[in-house]
Structure 1
């Protein structure tokens, strides 16, 4: 009789979740990097199905000679894209790692989740199942939904990830409940509303309890990367002189014109719910740090990293990139809060990746940290840190939150998924490799600096690229980032000129 999802997860071994250190096991890893999310929000991501490439840095598990990896994508990955990752791997011949890597694809580039495509292809699933050794295999995903749960049960392979039945703890409402339970500071806010009228009532309650607030941020309960957030300013509404009913009415009108990135977001309120939190202002400086961790089978919580998030977009709420690590004045506090949240999640039965986003405000010499949301999935900071750890063979120092190379040198980086420029359109991955080689942009382990790249599939069609730029201090990492952008655009321009018959000047 087939095992249930829970019974399958009981087969997971504690060592399988550890991505660092040699000799972590003899197993088969099935990677299903499906962006299984709300279609309206996924439509906001340019070249969404190419984001399946971001987890290619998981191939670094092949450093262990006992590990085999099965990597599945919507469309076949070019060999050059795969080799570009494998060649970064220290300590093992690329040819040896390549023999233990098996690539599959659905030959379907439609804008649907990869997992959904897999479930429609029983013959393909049969070929994948034949490769996986019973009792020594597990799968990981970008996010775990009912689709990934169904895939685990169909393949009879345990999934290292949080049961979607626990998904509430990764929502905006669940996050606030966790913060209150763990004693992690967080902004004043509302409960969950499932209609625009109830949302207006809840925001009125928030303003009446905190009439000095300059505004709030309205959040879809299941939004991601800031795409489900929009700011609502209070001063233009002149709420102070109104009756309760008038305030509710004026806020209800204001909600209709919110600059929410997600299209049709009003309908999403009834499906997901929405809430509001105080918009944090004041202070001499404001930053958006985060902490990431993982929960191993058995419940052990490991804090992995801290980051400074780079936000942008129309409302300043969209994730664009990050810098590692977070600033020294509050880095250890971030890690302590992350550990507390991770332990609470582990007590609920959560597994694998989680992250906590914060707002940090400086008042003189003091930094005030306020937690704003939990992510129960991999995110934009996952693959850059995975790349750093893989290509350097270094490790995080728990006492300081610094990442040290094997020689003890602290390493830093700036990373992005969103280097976009029209001049990059039309470049093939092989052109990128040529530009990188000619300009000496690649990561150099002797100098402990340089860049590694991802999202190569987005390059030609969308003029978009991801990269992680590494240096020995924050200033050097920023300089590597700037020089990499400049050299890439110059190289792209030169090739465009050559193609048009113009001399290279």
Structure 2
């Protein structure tokens, strides 16, 4: 067993290196450095098992190959199973101005050849020879850093084992990103959030909280019970209040919780609740409720910045499972969201948090028709809205204009997109990567640098086994992006014998049909 105190001490010693490397990269776009990418989903594995094709989510960070646009940068990308060579080439050919052969020389794809349902980071740490090869590939550790999907004790141990800093939140600070920690952070930041209770750990805690919430808000019809470490809405249970607010009535109704996942049951949920803890909060019931989010980043120098805003598309049996998103969030309340997000960003920065994170909101109209926002949760990790925005950066070389919340290319074109990591059809099963590339090439759906529009796919490896893929459709307007999204879906359906679904159904309606 490693000496935990020494590990934490070494992790802290490495932190300033990230700040220095970050400053050097900002000062010199041609700065020579190495980025080690380990897209491990180091989250609760029972919750992750509910996600179809979860192992292929390791491909979602392939957009980080954008770093190879710097001809002096090197990237080491590690996965559980090898990534199909044509998938890698698919991304490399998108690097405008960089020959594929040059980029490939500076890219090291590595695999542990282990398909088990455990975090990738744990698999690497179990293999001392793999660690040794990683260290040898890094070359100059003083000019390297580690990027992961999320940060846990495993990622801290890996960073220390490699002798490089982690470009992410210190695991000691992860409590700020739990459901309970989020509510406390919102309170500290002075940001409106739903009424509720945190730091609950058993059935009686939940019953008491539900009773108190109903007593404080007699007209309340529904509440949500959430696991502290649930994600994508999969750890949520929807509670319908009975007519009687007695303890017995509340407890009976609690046993009828409605879950987003068809595999979840109350007994298992309450067992996980006892381990993780969780919260109870009101279900916002108002006019025109929408579910936008804001993605943020706190740089190594402590400066927080807006990365993007989105309209999230949610579904599932309780309407709380993330299906996809549209960029940017509505003009009607985008500035309000960014203002609230900046308050949260400053609060987290003061606590020492760095790295990317997302904030989920609900917005609704009040009695006067004005938009109000409610912060729902903080995800101190990359999430579903990270890959599509990475795709936009990767393909266009542009950036967000934080004052407007719009994305502009270097020639000042404004770009929009519709995206999902959950496009599914039973008819897509059996499609190999080369089949997909054949279809999109023949029908002109590839991204075109000349127009700055087109489609980019990800999680391509999940197609053959699961009939599932991620997709970002980029257009010059929100309507153009959505039209391209729907035309691409219709084309895939037509090419695989699933015609009729994509054309007739509203966007995203069918994406849970295979769960």
Q: TM-score scaled to structure 2, two decimals?
A: 0.91
Per the TM alignment, residue 27 of structure 1 is displaced from its structure 2 partner at its CA by 1.1
Aligned pair partner of 2:217 in 195, 206, 210: 210
CA separation in 2, counterparts of 1:483 and 1:150? Answer: 45
- Number of the residue aligned with 1:374: 378
Per the TM alignment, residue 409 of structure 1 is displaced from its structure 2 partner at its CA by 1.9
- Number of the residue aligned with 2:207: 200
**RMSD over aligned Cα, in angstroms?**
1.9
Per the TM alignment, residue 13 of structure 1 is displaced from its structure 2 partner at its CA by 2.4
CA separation in 2, counterparts of 1:21 and 1:31? Answer: 22
Taking the TM superposition and a 5 Å limit, the aligned residue runs for 1:439-458 are 439-458=443-462
The answer to whether the 8 A contact 1:152-1:158 is kept is yes
Taking the TM superposition and a 5 Å limit, the aligned residue runs for 1:229-248 are 229-234=236-241, 237-239=242-244, 247-248=246-247
Per the TM alignment, residue 59 of structure 1 is displaced from its structure 2 partner at its CA by 0.6
Aligned pair partner of 2:192 in 166, 185, 209: 185
Per the TM alignment, residue 365 of structure 1 is displaced from its structure 2 partner at its CA by 4.5
Q: Per-residue displacement from partner, 1:466-490 (whole Å, max 9, x unpaired)?
A: 1000111111111000000011121
Q: Per-residue displacement from partner, 1:367-420 (whole Å, max 9, x unpaired)?
A: 111100011000000010011011011111111100012222211000001110
Taking the TM superposition and a 5 Å limit, the aligned residue runs for 1:47-58 are 47-58=53-64
- Number of the residue aligned with 1:416: 420
Question: Comparing 102-111 with 356-365, which one deviates more in the overlay?
Answer: 356-365
The answer to whether the 8 A contact 1:28-1:138 is kept is yes
Q: Per-residue displacement from partner, 1:222-276 (whole Å, max 9, x unpaired)?
A: 1111111121122xx102xx5xxxx222212222221233452111111111211
The answer to whether the 8 A contact 2:21-2:143 is kept is no
The answer to whether the 8 A contact 1:14-1:298 is kept is no
Per the TM alignment, residue 57 of structure 1 is displaced from its structure 2 partner at its CA by 0.2
- Number of the residue aligned with 1:72: 78
Question: Comparing 396-405 with 49-58, which one deviates more in the overlay?
Answer: 396-405
- Number of the residue aligned with 2:340: 337
CA separation in 1, counterparts of 2:35 and 2:49? Answer: 29
CA separation in 2, counterparts of 1:61 and 1:80? Answer: 19
CA separation in 2, counterparts of 1:463 and 1:20? Answer: 40
Q: TM-score scaled to structure 1, two decimals?
A: 0.93
Taking the TM superposition and a 5 Å limit, the aligned residue runs for 1:287-302 are 287-302=290-305
- SS of the equivalent of 2:229 reads coil
CA separation in 2, counterparts of 1:205 and 1:128? Answer: 54
CA separation in 2, counterparts of 1:404 and 1:362? Answer: 30
- Number of the residue aligned with 2:147: 140
- SS of the equivalent of 1:11 reads helix
- SS of the equivalent of 2:182 reads helix
- Number of the residue aligned with 1:90: 96
CA separation in 1, counterparts of 2:495 and 2:28? Answer: 39
- Number of the residue aligned with 1:460: 464
Per the TM alignment, residue 22 of structure 1 is displaced from its structure 2 partner at its CA by 7.2
The answer to whether the 8 A contact 1:19-1:61 is kept is no
Number of paired residues? 486
Answering whether residue 103 of structure 2 is matched by residue 100 of structure 1, we say: no
Per the TM alignment, residue 20 of structure 1 is displaced from its structure 2 partner at its CA by 8.8
CA separation in 2, counterparts of 1:13 and 1:345? Answer: 17
Aligned pair partner of 1:9 in 4, 12, 15: 15
